[in-house]
Structure 1
C-alpha cells in the first residue's frame, strides 16, 4: 500500500512538469507554423514567458528570434523590451556580456524610432551593466547616457543609474565622483521609500571607507548593514558583506577574523547556491581562501582551493573582474611553490585584466605582485620598475582630495561632536605628512619651471601672433560667406519676384500663340526658378532643414544619373537659421562636387543626431582624389569653402579619399 501511495505521489509531482512541457511545445510549434508576423510574435512571447528562469538556452534562442522579427516589421520598441530582458541572462548567467552588447547595439541602431524614455534609457542602462564586466569607463558613459534619456517618470531607473555609476567610479578609484552618485541614488530611493535599495547605496559608501583605510568606520557601518539585511532575509548581499569584511581584516592583519568571515561567506554561499551557478562569488571567495593559506604557508590547503577554482573559471571566460581574482590567486600560489615562470604568466594576466577593466586598486596590487616575482627571478630592474609603478599609483589614488572627501563623508555618519573633530584632526595629520613628502618634488619642479619660463614666453608670443593672424583670416572668410549668402538671397528674390513674374505675364499673353513659343517661355520660367532655388533655398524656410535636405536629394536622384540613398535623423530646431543655411550649403556643395568631379554612380548621405552633436557623412564610389594636392591647388575653391563653413559652425571636417576608390566626407557639428 505504501509503495502504491509513493508511486501516486511521484506521478502527482511530475504532472505539472509534463503539462508545462506540452504547453511550451505547443507554443514552439505555433511559432514555427505561424503564417502572420503578429501571430508568430505572440507565440514566441508565450515561449519566452514559460522558459524564463527555467531554460536559459530556450529563452536566449527565442529572444533572438523575437528581436530580429520585431525589427524587421519596425516594432523597435518591442525588440527593445526583449533585448533588455535578455541582458541579465546573457551577462550574469551565461557570462556572454559581449553578445548582450551586440544585441542591444542592434536595437539602438534604430533608436530614433523609440519614443518611450523608459526603453531608450533602459537600453543604455542594460548595456552599461554588460560593459561593467568588460570596461568600467564605457559602462560609466552608458549610465550617463541612460540618465540623459530617462524622463521624470523614470525616477526609479535614474536612481539605479546613479547607484551603478557610484559603484563603477569607486572601482576605478574616483571616490569623489562615486560619493556624489551614491548620495544622489540614496536621496532618490529615500524619496520613493525604496528602503532596500537605500541599503545598496549605503553599502557602496561603506566599501569606499574600506578602500581608503577607514577600517574601523567601515566595520561599524557594515555590522549595522548586515543586521538590516538579515531582517530583510537578503542572504546574497550578506555574502558580499562577509567577503568584504574579510578583505578588510586581511588588510589590517587580523588573520583570525579574516578566515572566520571568509568561511562564513563560503558557508552561506553553499547554502543559498546549491546548484553552484553563482560562479562570481565562488571564484572570489575560493581565491581569497587560497591566498589566506598561502600567507600562512599552508600550501597543501591552498592547493585544494586552487583546484576548486578550475571548476568555475570556464564559466567566467568573459568576466574580466573574476579573472582578476583567479589569476592573482594562481600567481601567488606558483610564487610560493617556486614555479616563477608560471607565477609570472598569471601575474601578467592579472595586470592585463585589471587594466582592461580599469580597477586601479587591482592594477596597483598587480604591480606589487610582479615586483616580488621579478625579484625572485633575479630580474631586479623589472622588479624596481613595477615597484615604482605600484608606489606612483598608490600616491595618485589616495591624494588630498580623496582624504578630504572621505573625512566629509565620515562626518555624515557621526553623531557625536568629539568623534567628528577627531576625524578632521586625523585627516589634517595625513595631509601634512603628504605635504612634507612632496615638498622636495615641489622645489625641484619649481626650479625647472623658472629655467623654462623665458623660453615659454618667447614661444607664447610667437604663437599668439600666428593665432591672431589666423583668427583675422577666419573672421574675414566667415564674413565673406555671410555677405555672399545675403547677396544670393537678394538676387534670388529679385529673380523670383521680378523676372519670374514678368515671364508669367508674357506666358499669359501668348495663350493663343504657337506651341514652340509657349514651350520656350515655360523653359525660361523653369530655369529662372532653378537659379532662384540654387541661389537661396526657399524650401529651407518653408519645410525646415531636414525636409529641405531630403527634397534636394530627391531632386538630384530624379534629375541626374547619380543614385542617392540616405539615412537622415530629424535635426529641425537644433540650429539658428543662419547655421541651418550653412549646413544646407555644405550638403548641397558636397553633392555638386560629386556630380562635377567624382564620376560616381552612387552616393549615400547619412545624418545622425547624437548626444551633444550632429554627424553628417557623404560617401560616393567615384574616382577619389588626393586631399592635400587638391586643397593646395589655388583653383580648387570647393574644399576651402566647405572648410570655412565648417569652421563657421565650430565643427570638424574629415576627408577620407583614395584615388580610384571613392570618397567619404564626414562633418561633425556641436549642438548648443
Structure 2
C-alpha cells in the first residue's frame, strides 16, 4: 500500500506539469487566433513560434507548422514556407515517425521549389526528404533525393555536399549494392578529409570498415580500423573508439582468432568504462566479452561479468536483452548446463528472427543445433543445422556476387577515369592547336598536328598498357576470389554436408539393410573426393611437398600413363598462398597433359636452384604449337597457368613442338626470410 501511494505521489507533479503545459499551449493558440496585427506581423509571430516548438515534443507542433506554412504561402513568402516545411518534415520523421504524412508534404512542396530565392533552402529540403525515404527503407528514392541534395549543395557550396554523399553510400549498403556503396563512401571520405572534418571522416572510414567486414574483406576492414584507432586516440571528441575495437573482435571471431578477439573486447570495455556515457554500450561490450571468455574456458571471469551486468536492469532488458542472452546461453553451454543453454538459446533465437540481421539468426540456429546434439535430440539438431546452413549458403552466395561486383566496379571506374583523362587531354591539345593555327597559319598548324599525333600515339600506347595491367589485376582478383570460394566450399562440404552424411550413416547402422549403408559410405567417399578436388587437404595438413607427391601418386594409380618424379622438400622456402597457386599450376599442367598430349610417360621434378624453386613437367606426347595456342579460344588452361604465375611472380617457360612432346618450367623466386 505504501509503495502504491509513493508511486501515486510521484505521478502527481508530472500530471500537474503536463496540465500547466496544456494551459500554456492553449493560451498561445488563443493569442494567435485573436491577434489583430497586420499580415507581416502575424507571419513574423508564426515564424518565431514555429522556431520555438520545432524540437519540443510536448507541444502540438503539427497545427503550428501547417498554419505557418499555409500563411507564408498566402503572403507569397515561399522561402519561409519551404524553410518551415523542412522543419515540419524533420518533426514528422524523427518526432512522430509519421513517414506517410511526411512523404505527402514532400510531394506537395515540389511545385513551389522553383520559386525559392534564397540559397541553402532547397538543398536543406532535399536532404530532409531523402532521410524520410531512407528511414522508411525506400532506399532507391532516397538515393535519388540525396543526388538532388548534392547538386544544390554543390551549387551553394553548403555542408550537405559531403553529408549527402556519405548518406547515399549508406543507402547503397542497405540496397546490397556493394560496389557503388564502397566507391561512394570512399568519395565521401576524401571530401571530409579535404574539408578537415575529422569527425565525419572517421565516421565514414568506420562505415567503410563495417562494409568490408560484412562482405568478407577482413584484411581491408582491419587496415581501415587500425588507421581509425591511431587517429581517434588523438581526438578526444571521437566517441566510438570502443566500438571499433568491438568490431575488430567480431572479425576475429569470424576468422577464429580467439586470442585477439578477447584482447580487443577487453580494450573496448576498458575504454567504455572511462566514457561519460558508459551505460549506452556497457551491456553490448561486457556481454560480448563474457561470451568470448565462456567459449574459451575463462568461466570464472565470464560469470563475474554476467553477475555485474545483472546488477542493473537496463543491461538485461529492452535493446540490451539479446546481448545479455547471448552471454548467458554460451556460459550455460560451456558449463554443460544444457537445459538453461536451451532455454536462453530459444529466447535468443526468437528475438533474432524478428529482425533482418541474417548473420545473427544464423548463429542462433547453429547454437540450438549444438545444444540439441548434446542432449541427444538428433532430429531437432539436424533441423536447426539445416536452417543454419541454408542461411549461411545464402549469405555466402550473396557475398561472392557482391565481391565480384566490387572488383568489376573498381576495374570499370579505373577504365572510365583513364578514358576521361585521355579525352580531356585531347580536348586541351585541340584547343591549343586551334589557337596556334590562327597565329601561325600553315607552318604552326602542321607543327602542332605533328606534336598532337606523336602525343596521341604515346598516350594511346600508355593507355593500352594501363588497360592491360588493370585487366590482368582484375583477372587475378577473380582467380583469388574463386580460390577463396573453392576453399570455403571444401570446408562447407566437409563440415556441413559431411557431418550430415556421417549422422545419416550412424542412423542407417540401426537399420538392417546393407545396401543403404553401402550407398551412404559411397556417397561420403564421393563427397570427400569432391572436397579434395576443391581444396587439397594434404596441402593444409602435410605441406606443399607431400601434397605434390600425393597428387602424382593419385594420378599414377588412376591412369595408364607412367609417372616418374624427383621432388625435393621445399616447404621451408614457400608460404601458404604461393604453395596453393604452385600446386594449382602443377594440377592444371598435369591435367592438360593427360587430356590432350596422348603421352605415355610424364616426368615431374621440383628442386631448389640458387634462389629459385624450379618445377619442371615434361612429357613424350604429341606436342603443340605454343604461340598459336595462346591466340585461340581453346587455350584457357594455358592462360590460367600464366595468370597464376603472375600472381606469385613466377617465370613460366613452355617448350613444345609438334611430335616432340612438351616441357613446362616454372621458376618461383624465394623470398628472403
The bucket for the TM-score relative to the shorter chain is 0.3 to 0.5
TM-score, length-normalised on structure 1?
A: 0.47
